[in-house]
Structure 1
Amino acid sequence: MRRRTLTAVALTVVPLPLALAAGCAPVAGLHDDGRARDVKAPLALWADRTPAPRVRDEDPGDQRAVPGIARVPSGSMKDTDPAAVVRADIASDGDRPPAPGAVRSPVLHDLTDDGKPDLISAVDLDARTSLLRVYSVRDQVVTRVLAMRAVLAGVELAAGHLAVREPTKDPRYVSVTDYVWDGRRMGLWDLTLDEYRTPQNPLPTAPSNAPSPGAPA
């Protein structure tokens, strides 16, 4: 009798957890979330209109000899006067020579992969816009190999690349344009987005209120 009583109790108790679990568990299976969005091909506006080819002067990698600068037998930009090169180049564009304080410190670095330093210079036109120029000696002639007008959020050298960082509409990010010497000219290598950095914050950091690694969220 005792054994049968225990068995009866066991049979009565066992289904209770199952019933409780069934009451708490979500209903399995498919759900109707409403009508799915219709997928349509992009609608091209004014498909019959295309821009004219870029004019020569708009090509950042267009090469041009800088007039009024003596030939450089050594083939190295370190044997030139950087300020004179920049003044002569800008004057050849029909613009007024920049004020001394508008020209940033010159940088000598081999970008053309010939073992001799090239000249990288920037001229600030106003508080926002700058001219970025790269000069090299080609066949003893001082030659401009890169010229662009940009809002310079930063300029970096890495693995032979000249990376130009410019602001975007989103203040958290900058666009990064990489230029590299392809054996004949400075050409566009890559376009990417990167997090905005300042001299005070050169690398992205986690927000101060972010949980430490391993801490509960």
Structure 2
Amino acid sequence: MNRSRLAAVAFAVLAVLAAGGCGDPGGLRGAGATPTAVGPTHLWPDLPSPSVPAEDYGAIESVKVEGVRVPKGDLREVDPVDVVRADFSENPGTYDRSDSAYRRTMERLEDCAEDGSGEKGRCPVLKAYYRDLTGDGKEDLIVGVSTPDDNLDIRVYAEKERQLTQIMEMSDAVLGVELAGRDLIIRAVSSLAGYEYHTVWSWDAHQKAMLPTSDEIVRAPNAPRPKTARPSPVRPSASASSSAGGGR
């Protein structure tokens, strides 16, 4: 510390002591013992590496979607229904082609009109949204498809060199979807009553796809309170207090 900084510190200390008055001796006061830092404890350090990875939650790699042109590289010029038809035909995603829910979804896609409205509300493609999720300065396409099993299939598409590319796909019992910056936040039903899942999907430049970077289970905002009342705290009786006080 140089001399000018020493002088400034000394002046500041004198000012604090003067402001404290004669009744306050001033000076530093101890805050008590500082707890010792404890590092993480590694459990089962000799655990062997798994031979098979766990089941992935949704698609974690980009997939090209053939048969859909992207005029001028602008995804707003593409009909979302055409995108969904082409993608479901080539990349069923979480559905097996022989699955009844997949077959019924494909049948309902045939009912979609050019404007995506469909007959009698049977078109499963929801309103499309656009947001730059990859950070390349171009808007990406976010599509939701309601499925016959009461789930919502969510897919995100990007344009790479005039090629339509799926960069995210998942299906779940979705409660709500939010956009926060370049993240897609999905709230889904939990099997635990009163709770819900919150999953954050973010762009990963190395994988070239959206990945579930955060997945947590939280208390639902409208969850009912427990019906069983909490027991009241036990307070010591007057006689107990007297006994504890040494008979005073």
- Where in structure 2 are there 5+ consecutive unaligned residues? 1-42, 92-96, 113-122, 227-248
Shift, 1:67, TM fit: 1.3
In 2, distance between residues paired with 1:98 and 1:61?
A: 27
TM-score for both structures, normalised by structure 1 = 0.61
Match of 1:194 among 198, 218, 224: 218
Which of 176, 179, 183 is matched with 1:161 structurally?
183
Higher deviation after alignment, 93-102 or 171-180: 93-102
Task: Say if 1:146 and 1:189 are closer, same or farther in 2 by CA, change over 3 A.
Answer: same
Aligned partner of 2:147: which letter?
A: L
SS in 2 for 1:67: coil
User: Aligned to 2:82, what secondary structure does the other structure show?
Assistant: helix
Q: Deviations over 1:160-216 (max 9, x none)?
A: 11111111123322111111112232122111233435xxx7xx8999xxxxxxxxx
Q: Of the two, which has the highest radius of gyration? A: 1
What is the aligned residue count?
Answer: 157
Q: Aligned in 2, Cα 1:54/1:192: closer, same or farther, shift over 3 Å?
A: closer
2:183·2:202 contact (CA, 8 Å) conserved in 1?
yes
The answer to whether the Cα contact below 8 Å between 2:186 and 2:198 also exists between their aligned partners in 1 is yes
**Residue 85, structure 1, aligned to residue 100, structure 2:** no
Output one character per residue of 1:15-38: Cα deviation in whole Å (capped at 9) or x when no partner.
Answer: xxxxxxxxxxxxxxxxxxxxxxxx
Partner of 1:18: none
Q: CA deviation at 1:73?
A: 5.5
Partners of 2:198 and 2:216 within 8 A in 1: yes
Q: Kindly indicate whether residue 60 of structure 2 is the aligned counterpart of residue 61 of structure 1.
A: yes
Paired position in structure 2 for 1:27: none
Partners in 1 of 2:146 and 2:177 — Cα distance?
13
- The reply on whether 1:146 has 2:168 as its aligned counterpart is yes
Change (3 A) 1:144 1:85: same
Shift of 1:51: 6.3
Percent of residue pairs bearing the same amino acid type: 29
Shift of 1:54: 5.7
Per the TM alignment, residue 115 of structure 1 is displaced from its structure 2 partner at its CA by 1.7
| Structure 1 runs not aligned, ≥5 long | 1-41, 208-217
1:185 correspondence with 2:183:
no
**Cα RMSD after superposing both structures:** 3.1
TM-score (ref. length: structure 2): 0.54
Q: CA deviation at 1:98?
A: 5.2
- Aligned equivalents of 2:198 and 2:58: distance in 1? 18
Give the whole-Å Cα distance in 1 for the aligned partners of 2:155 and 2:216.
21
